[in-house]
Structure 1
Amino acid sequence: MRNPAVETNSPTERILILVAVCLAGLSMPVSFTGPAIALPAIARALDGSPLALNWVTNAFMLGFGSCLLVAGTCADLFGRKRVFLCGTLGFALSSIVATRASSMLALDLLRALQGVASATALSAGAAALAQEFEGEARTRAFSVLGTTFGVGLAFGPIVAGALIANFGWRSVFWSVTVITLTALCVGAKCIRETRDPGATGLDLPGAATFTCGLTLFTYAVLRVPDSRWTSPLVLGLLAASAVVTAIFVLVETRVRRPMLDLSLFRYPRFIGVQFLAAAPAYSYVVLLVLLPVRFIGIEGYSSVAAGQMMFALSAPMLVIPMLAGYLTRWFTAGVISGAGLLLCACGQFWLAQCEQGQPIAHMLMAMFLIGVGVSFPWGLMDGLAVSVVPKERAGMATGIFNTTRVAGEGIALAIVSALLASFVETKLRGTAFASVDARILAEAASRLVMGDLSTAVTMLAHATTADLVKLYGAAFRLLLYVLAGITVLSAVMVFGFLSHSKLPHLQEQEPDVEPASRQSRTGAAVQ
């Protein structure tokens, strides 16, 4: 292994390293948006229940979010290049096997493996970038990475729609295989091996309790449409999740080198960055899954048309993140991010007014406004994330940030799906279907949320397609109002914690956290 203290890569090699990491990053949003477009086709092919179909997206997000902290630690301990290559290879292999999945269970398990591998590649790749670039160059590099995510979000639905229409839903997994193998080849040639000299080992108890707690909570929320919030099963799962999470906190306060340094939460800017990381989940990410289901399953658009419509939501990601970085010359990152979230909330409120039968241009403009608003914080989050810890702990920094972001997205998707199912069921109870058995109503509501309109019509006697489409639209409108309120609250929190935080050249001002040389004092206090 080369010594990073005496050897550095040439400018061309650094660009190729950035290309490799961006390609690995590109596979993540494509793997998220592509299967979302394919859900109706997957449901027809594999005959999945609503709960099993939910896991197509949630298994990936859960695997990704629960393993990011471990992946960051592994990158610091075993080497960023080695972990990056293992992650990209694992992602490619799991994607290839997913093309042969013959059951919902097999597909869900493979989606979880994809999430773990993607987390490994992205966390190690981001840590490698932090070693190659300094100051303003690092800010630009992470802005490019954020823009790459935007490209995946923007074109993923379009490409997925075209692939599904011409080659079937399994072709979506072949597309990410090609992207990831390219990242593997470029990274193997150009990334130099670096490690954290202070890394001491893996925090296995912390990793196990964190993953277990997150899994229990996600499963509890996914059971809500079938079992309700007050059922013994859901309450038991939530209680178990709380207990395991408390054990995780206890473990992290006692180990010498924790997976998650809880002392960081004493610093306002660190807390603000975590709020900023979670904010897009409710303002944007959940719509990447719910809107394709609505367009294809409820309103009858083709997968190609739905993919093209989703471009209005994600297209701003191609430009606005770079504009956000440019605006930091005059405004702080917190102000730009908070203003973007307020703009996003306006788009959500506008979208709530768009009903079926109105000109499609109204809906597309509302979606575009949401995309513009969320793109401003999206372009600043990654650069802020690596500025909250010393350079040597870059793997932990990206792990914490991306865990908050992706775990928040998985939880948000589960909660919002359960909330939409509750709204649909409430609307059903307020109509002529009130006399129908409660279990049938709950199942019908779950089917509507998953876009299975035909089954819902069959389950409800005397129901017409037009009635259920109108009812679903009313429930979706109510959901958008709730999301807009959450987005406004997120903007307020970001203004409060980050309004004075600029996007700094990381070496030019004192970070908000203690440097590594002073962390021994914190460690002694903990011990």
Structure 2
Amino acid sequence: MVLVAQFVTPLSIAGTAIALPAISADLGSQPAALQWVVNGFNVAFALSTLIWGPIGDRIGHRATFTVGAAAFAAGSAVSASAPSLVILDGARVLAGVGAAAILTGASSLLSNAFDGAARAKGFALFGTVNGLGLALGPTVSGVLVAAIGWRGGFAVQAVLLALAVLGSRALPRTVVAPGIRDAVRTASRGSLLRNREFVAMCLVPMAGSAGFVTLLTYLPSAFGGIKGLSAGAAGPLMLVMTVPVLVAPTIVAALVGSVSRVTVGSVVHVSLVALVLGSGGMLLLAPDRSIAWVILPMILLGFGFGLPIGLVDGHALAVVPPEQTGRAAGVLNFCRIGSEAAFVAAYAFVLSSVVDHRLMGTAAAETAAGMPGHADVYADAFAVTVGGVVAVLVVLSFAVFVVRSGERVWGRVMSGSRW
């Protein structure tokens, strides 16, 4: 039930944008309202993860999961029948709130229901499903839109989530004892930030957002703007980057615990190195150079993002007290989803700004969107933007290392004492 419901969330994040032309043709082309079909879900999702964490610790993680699945199903059902963009935007906000509850409740349920190797396997499957939904979102949504229309795509999501609601009674019930709730509420506000390992695990998905999610979103446009590839040609090429995301969590789950040198820390450090090298390698993408030069960097990016998926979630919730897993899941997922939204927006802003310095009017807009014609301009903008990504990744990687190893430094920072 957890995996079925969780698959819909990244599917909705990654796949809704492809339906916007069909939605526009049906409900109108107001730019702001149309963009909020995507942004409304993402913003509500990111912000609500912080709210559902403490709520889940109080009402129980099964209840949180069930309420979230019901809200997401209702939002998807209303989206499928929306007569206007305003109603569709409101329904997508409701769906985003529900998706946050699903993610928070699901990760907490897995953390409390399993131990040892079983927990590692559970979170490996959890990470694989997240990666699968993210990687296949545009493809699956495109097929659904072509076959049954954009309304049918939302209807399919509603049906899957309704099944999760019906099956949620099979999930284990976890409720914090009433006497503990007040102590948790007052004591855990700062305790999570004093937990160095938990904070480090929150930084890892932020690195994945910067190095992988931004390029997953905009690399097809770069292939068009720099190499003149069509969307149909760029789509299959992206499998080079997404397939490692699907296989990496299972590989890690098999190695951690069975091979002494393969630990959570080693996997995290390898993933960060892969993200830095992969992003740096993307600077080889140029009009006068073969695409073959960026195949290896794309593979590195896929593994850099995929290796810690699931593993980080399981470890982050394992290093906090059981009564704080809901709050911890909320903070972790806020870091993940919030950083995705922030880095994707920053990437688009920097790229467009550099293009605007070289071109004007329609030419600038078309070039920034990835249309061929000014390959050198797009290549320069891409190099500047990706260079910024590499710098962010180096800073985040250093921060993870310092937080995990610098106990005295971290203690002084959190206690407010002077250096």
Q: TM-score, normalised by structure 1?
A: 0.68
Aligned positions of 1:367-382 closer than 5 A: 367-382=298-313
Give the match for residue 13 of structure 1.
Answer: none
- The CA deviation at 1:106 is 4.0
For 1:445 and 1:104, locate their aligned partners in 2 and report how far apart those are by CA, in whole Å.
28
Give the drift of 1:119: 0.6
Q: Quick one: structure 1 residues 418 and 126, their matched pair in 2 at CA, closer, same or farther if it must change by over 3 Å?
A: same
Residue 142 of structure 1 contacts residue 383 of structure 1 at CA under 8 Å; is this kept in 2?
yes
- Return closer, same or farther for 1:324/1:159 CA change in 2, 3 Å cut-off: same
Q: Tell me, which stretches of 5 or more residues in structure 2 are unaligned?
A: none
SS in 2 for 1:192: coil
1:184-263 alignment runs, 5 A limit = 184-188=165-169, 190-198=170-178, 257=185, 261-263=189-191
Equivalent residue of 2:73, what SS? helix
* Distance apart, 1:149 and its partner CA: 0.8
Matched, 1:122 2:28: no
Where does residue 47 of structure 1 map in the other structure?
29
Q: What residue number does 2:314 align with?
A: 383
2:129 aligns with: 148
Q: What corresponds to 1:497 in structure 2? A: 403
Deviations 1:351-401 (A, max 9, x none): 232245865555554323211122122242111210231112221121111
Q: What's the counterpart of residue 358 of structure 2?
A: 427
Quick one: distance in 1 between partners of 2:247 and 2:379?
31
Does the C-alpha gap of structure 1 residues 270 and 300 become closer, same or farther in structure 2, counting only changes over 3 Å? same
Q: Which residue of 2 aligns with 1:485?
A: 391
What is the TM-score when the length of structure 2 is the normalising length?
Answer: 0.84
> Which secondary structure state, in structure 1, belongs to the residue aligned with residue 230 of structure 2?
coil
Q: Which residue of 1 aligns with 2:210?
A: 282
- 1:215-239 CA-to-partner distances (Å, cap 9, x unmatched) read xxxxxxxxxxxxxxxxxxxxxxxxx
Question: Given the superposition, is the C-alpha separation of residues 43 and 383 from structure 1 closer, same or farther in structure 2, using an over 3 Å criterion?
Answer: same
Of the structure 1 ranges 392-401 and 153-162, higher mean CA displacement relative to structure 2 is found in 153-162
Q: Which residue of 2 aligns with 1:403?
A: 334
What corresponds to 2:378 in structure 1? Answer: 472
Amino acid at match of 1:177: A
Q: Residue 92 of structure 1 is aligned with which of 73, 84, 108?
A: 73
| Larger Rg, first or second structure (1 or 2) | 1
Residue 117 of structure 1: how far off its partner (Å): 0.6
**Per-residue deviation, 1:90:** 1.4
> 1:320 matched to which residue of 2?
248
Bigger fraction of residues in helix: 2
CA distance in 1 between counterparts of 2:273 and 2:127 reads 20
Distance 1:292 1:187, change over 3 A: farther
The change in CA–CA distance for 1:106 and 1:129 in structure 2 (over 3 A counts) is: same
Identical aligned pairs, as a percentage? Answer: 32
| 1:30 aligned to which of 11, 25, 41 | 11
In the alignment, the residues of structure 2 paired with residue 382 and residue 119 of structure 1 have an alpha-carbon distance, to the nearest angstrom, of 15
Gaps of 5+ in 1: 1-19, 203-254, 434-440, 454-464, 502-511, 514-521, 523-527
Partner of 2:50: 69
CA distance in 2, matches of 1:27, 1:364: 29
Aligned equivalents of 1:176, 1:448: Cα separation in 2: 34
Shift of 1:170: 4.1
Q: Cα gap change, 1:301/1:101 in structure 2, threshold over 3 Å: closer, same or farther?
A: farther
Does the Cα contact within 8 Å between 2:184 and 2:324 map onto a contact in 1? no
